[in-house]
Amino acid sequence: MSPEEPRPLNVILIGFMGCGKTTVGALLARQLGFQFIDTDQLIAQKAQLPIPRIFETEGEAGFRSRESAALDSLAATSHAVIATGGGIVTVPNNLPKLRALGLVIWLNPPEPILYARIQRNQDRPLLRSPNPRQTLHDLLALRRHLYAATAHLDVDVSDVTPDEAAYGLAESVRVHFSPPAA
């Protein structure tokens, strides 16, 4: 797809776990009148297993394979806000697929905000480590350039409420998808 070709009318939210993809995404979809799709929910529904169980039985590689398949299943989707898993960018083949699917927005709050949000959640398989703060730091360091390379827009929504974030993003999306002035 060349830069001149219009992207499908989708918004794809990427970013590290705890950045607000699901919460802000559902609100954004409502603001835009789009459907909301969460790739983690698609994976869990198809596998009939929760995500932590998939990690336990298939490892990260098995989960990433399922994640790529979920992304492929969305290729013909339109008018959707799609929240992705935090590690979807770690599979190189996913990056052009994400960009071709629509407008990719990286929700990018600072690392301390991410840690504060995720430390209360015990369902994060990749953070089950002796030092979750260091694990978060290391994973974020590995992924940051992938998020940046994939996103059309990089947004720190940490200083606003989820409703305010969704409102601001909706305005950006409307401007992005509005027809060019004649």
Q: Which two tokens stand for residue 40?
A: 């983690």
Other Cβ atoms within 10 Å of 141 Cβ, number? 10
pLDDT in tens, the chain (182 residues): 444 455 689 999 999 988 999 999 999 999 999 999 999 999 999 999 998 899 889 988 999 999 999 999 999 999 999 999 999 999 999 999 999 999 999 999 999 998 888 876 666 655 677 787 888 899 999 999 999 999 999 999 888 999 999 999 999 999 988 877 66
DSSP-based three-state secondary structure for 34: coil
In tens, the pLDDT along 12-54 reads 999 998 899 999 999 999 999 999 999 999 999 999 999 889 9
CA nearest neighbour of 17 among 119, 161, 153, 149 = 119
Domains of the chain: 10-175 (3.40.50.300)
Residue with tokens 């071709």: 100
Instruction: Say if residues 17 and 83 touch (Cβ distance below 8 Å).
Output: no
Q: What are phi and psi of 134, to 5 degrees?
A: -70, -40
Order of strands, sheet of 153-155, starting from the edge strand that comes earlier in the sequence: 35-38, 80-83, 10-14, 103-107, 153-155
| The dihedral formed by the CA atoms of 32, 88, 137 and 164, expressed in degrees to the nearest 10 | 0
Model-level pTM? Answer: 0.91
User: What is the SS3 string spanning 122-175?
Assistant: CCCHHHCCCCHHHHHHHHHHHHHHHHHHHCCEEECCCCCCHHHHHHHHHHHHHH
